[in-house]
Amino acid sequence: MARSDASENQDICNIMCNKVRLRIAQVLYERVEVPYSELASLVGVSESLLNHHLKRMSGLVEKGRSGYRLTWRGREVYRIVQSLAGGEEESQAGQAPLHRRILAFIIDVLVFFISTGAILDPHMIESLGGLAAGIASLDPSRLTGSLASLIDRSIIGYSNVFFAAFIFLTLLEAYNGQTLGKHLLHLRVVRRDGSKLTLVEAGIRNAGKIFLLPVDLALGLALYRRQGYIRLTDYLVQAIVVDERPRRAPGARGGDGRRARLNPNIIARPGG
């Protein structure tokens, strides 16, 4: 245990004591996976200097399919760095609670219906009311029936808009794993190994969400819930939704009463 603690402390110091490496960790934490040249540009260093720092971050950063990303250990270490800098609790990365996923989905649905004007359709209002009642009842069969009614009426009346929404949400999740609802609630969808979804993988899970949600949910809950999946398409592409909320320790605030923020120029010291 002591050796493990010493290794963790060394990793924390490795990031905190150099503002370039701290910036690398921040970019990769926020963007999930970034191509080499783009990472150098975002960090603001030459590619040769970036290569030097990536070598010093061995074990915390790895090369993925389309660029560099933090390993799971790297993400954990960065969360600890955030807690030390901003008075936040150390927390293990975990899958997002179901109620937060539902809330993010509702936000996406509302944005979609409001932006397309579908919210003004009386049949759609009736279906949304049924969905709200199904969620409030916590009755899986009632919720599934409400979702089926909503999706049936929506797809029939707004099929072209649904297809556009499918493309838009797929692109967002393939880009950085976040729709608007997920972004507002600090959620992100990634592969179980921590890498970004490919465009095809994002397309598969969004096809299930937009066109086949009742079936997707029913099969996922019935067959794969114990493995940590609530949707069949998430199991098929090995996708999980993680909760990235910053957590604050009680009383951990700055002198002006607000929570301190991570600042590379304050934390980092020259060297390394």
> 56-79: per-residue pLDDT in tens?
888 888 888 778 888 878 877 887
127 lies in the same domain as 199: yes
- Contact between 100 and 106 under an 8 Å Cβ cutoff? The reply is no
Q: Is residue 29, in this structure, part of any structural domain at all? A: yes
Of 113-122, 136-145, 190-199, 231-240, least confident by mean pLDDT is 136-145
**Predicted confidence (pLDDT) per residue in 209-243, tens digit:** 888 888 898 898 888 887 778 899 999 998 988 88
CA 170 to each of CA 65, 179, 191, 221: distance values in angstroms, whole numbers, following the listed order: 18, 9, 14, 23
Task: Write the single-letter amino acid at 205.
Answer: R
Q: For residue 232, which of 248, 254, 214, 216 has the smallest C-alpha distance?
A: 216
Say yes or no: 233 and 258 in one domain: no
133-167 pLDDT, tens per residue?
Answer: 666 665 666 666 666 666 665 555 667 777 888 99
For residues 87 and 114, state if they share a domain.
Answer: no
What mean pLDDT do residues 21-43 have?
A: 86
Domain count, the chain: 2
Are residues 112 and 238 located together in one domain of the fold?
yes
Co-location of 238 and 260 in the same domain:
no
Looking at the fold, whether 144 and 228 belong to one and the same domain comes out as yes
Q: Any idea what the Cα angle at residue 113 is, between residues 111 and 116, rounded to 5°? A: 100
Q: Domain of 151?
A: 98-243
Question: Does one domain contain both 206 and 116?
Answer: yes
Question: Per-residue confidence at 7, pLDDT binned at 50, 70, 90?
Answer: low
CATH number at residue 37: 1.10.10.10
Give a yes or no: residue 253 inside a domain: yes
212, part of any domain:
yes
Q: What pLDDT does 237 receive?
A: 93
> What is the C-alpha to C-alpha distance for residues 166 and 175, in angstroms, rounded to an integer?
14
Question: Do residues 121 and 203 both lie within one domain?
Answer: yes
Query: Do residue 107 and residue 227 come from a single domain?
Result: yes
Do 256 and 226 lie in one domain? The reply is no
Do residue 16 and residue 105 come from a single domain?
no
Residue 272 lies in a domain: no
Cα–Cα distance, 238 to 229 (Å, whole number): 9
Structure tokens at 252: 């951990």
Shared-domain flag, residues 144 and 230: yes
Range 178-195 average pLDDT:
86
